[in-house]
Structure 1
Amino acid sequence: MPAKGFHLYTALDLYSRKVVGWTVQHRQEKTIATRLIEQVIADQELNGHSVEVVHTDNGKVMTSHMMKDMLDEHGVQLSLIRPNVSNDNPFEESSHRTIKHHRYALETYDDIQHAQKVIGRIIDEYNNRDRHSGLNGYTPSEVYSGTWRDILEHRRAKETVYYATHPHRRPRPRKSVYKPPPKTVEINNGKPLAPETSSA
């Protein structure tokens, strides 16, 4: 995603929608992308998570031999979107739209340091403060870390107290309005992966 000549690379955790890796650079290059994804894999292991699949577009940066070799070394599968199918990577596309049109986003940036500072602030807000409707009102960080469970318990406890005080206001059926995040997140479940492409 260009920001006045700059390019934003992001890696998204599919389940939580959290941006788990990002960088702003002057150009698109396989070395930059490979190092970012490798760092993300290492960071996830430190956080008690594991990366099993990297789902991405068919661009030469992400399908380079360098990227494939690195993923093979870490036992990570490469999943490619199908050509000309825009909804094959909907969560990444959605996050990019959110970042691009965020309340802190700018039309232009003075230099790459300025772009990095602003984008860093946006991603911090996106991950830690902006509540997502697709996550039932939790932030990506809350879903990623599992702290949503405590938040859900607190919300439902307050709800119980409220309706105990105002029972006539309780809707029917008597189910809590507060829900956990979706149990599963899928992209094209059961559909074949795109044909492998070969890039230098």
Structure 2
Amino acid sequence: MDLYSRKIVGSEVFLGESAANSQQVIERALLREGVAHRPIVLHGDNGPAMKAATLTARLDQLGVKPSYSRPRVSDDNPFSEALFRTCKYRPDYPPNGFADVHEARDWVLGFVRWYNHEHRHSSLRYVTPQERHEGRDQAILARRHAIYTAAKQANPRRWSGRTRNWEPVGAVWLNPEKALEAA
């Protein structure tokens, strides 16, 4: 997931977890997004697949700086946790699991399409991850602000205060308190 836009930039379903599978997902995402060999930070958990020597060596070759969750801190990446919750609470999520890996892959593909192109994030002022990822969020939010401002001017008695905040969301930090201390 791209932290700035919340866009899912890479996803795969495998029969098992391994460093090779993780490497494949990461490499495909970097190539698809056109960011291979650009300064990227990849935040992952402390699992063996993400900390394997072969994966960390490949990340180094690709110019990707690894970052890891703190040990025994389950909410170190609230963005991923929120994504997992959204996934599990979808009405079409199978409560008894998937029949096979093909069914799981199909479901995940549909979920990613929905999440990136239709799901409007409250934390992004109700734009989709794809809209923010492509930089279209500013124009969308400016139009919304104009509509709300016109509505308030046309019917001032319907508004008890200000209109909704349609300012674009700024920078996003994984651990804001650490980022502020470093500044």
Offset of residue 119 of structure 1 = 1.6
Q: Which residue of 1 aligns with 2:52?
A: 64
Deviates more, 1:100-109 or 1:52-61: 100-109
Alignment pair present for 1:134 and 2:123: yes
Alignment pair present for 1:19 and 2:8: yes
Q: Is the Cα contact below 8 Å between 2:5 and 2:129 reproduced in 1?
A: yes
Letter in 1 for 2:52: S
Q: Is the Cα contact below 8 Å between 1:105 and 1:122 reproduced in 2?
A: no
Q: Which residue of 2 aligns with 1:165?
A: 154
Alignment pair present for 1:84 and 2:80: no
CA displacement, residues 20-54 of structure 1 (integer Å, 9 cap, x when unaligned): 110111111111110111111122226x9955100
Q: Is the Cα contact below 8 Å between 2:144 and 2:166 reproduced in 1?
A: no
CA displacement, residues 93-130 of structure 1 (integer Å, 9 cap, x when unaligned): 11112112212211222221111111211121111111
Alignment pair present for 1:185 and 2:179: no
CA distance 1:150–1:49, change in 2 (3 Å) = farther
| TM-score after normalising by structure 2 | 0.87
Give 1:103's match in structure 2, choosing from 64, 71, 91: 91
Alignment pair present for 1:156 and 2:145: yes
Structure 2: gaps (5+ residues):
none
Distance 1:99 1:25 in 2: 17
Q: Which residue of 1 aligns with 2:17?
A: 28
Between structures 1 and 2, the one with greater strand share = 1
Deviates more, 1:50-59 or 1:178-187: 178-187
| SS of 2:67 mapped into structure 1 | strand
| SS of 1:61 mapped into structure 2 | helix
| TM-score after normalising by structure 1 | 0.81
Question: Identity rate of aligned residues, in percent?
Answer: 33
Q: Is the Cα contact below 8 Å between 2:40 and 2:63 reproduced in 1?
A: yes
| SS of 1:78 mapped into structure 2 | strand
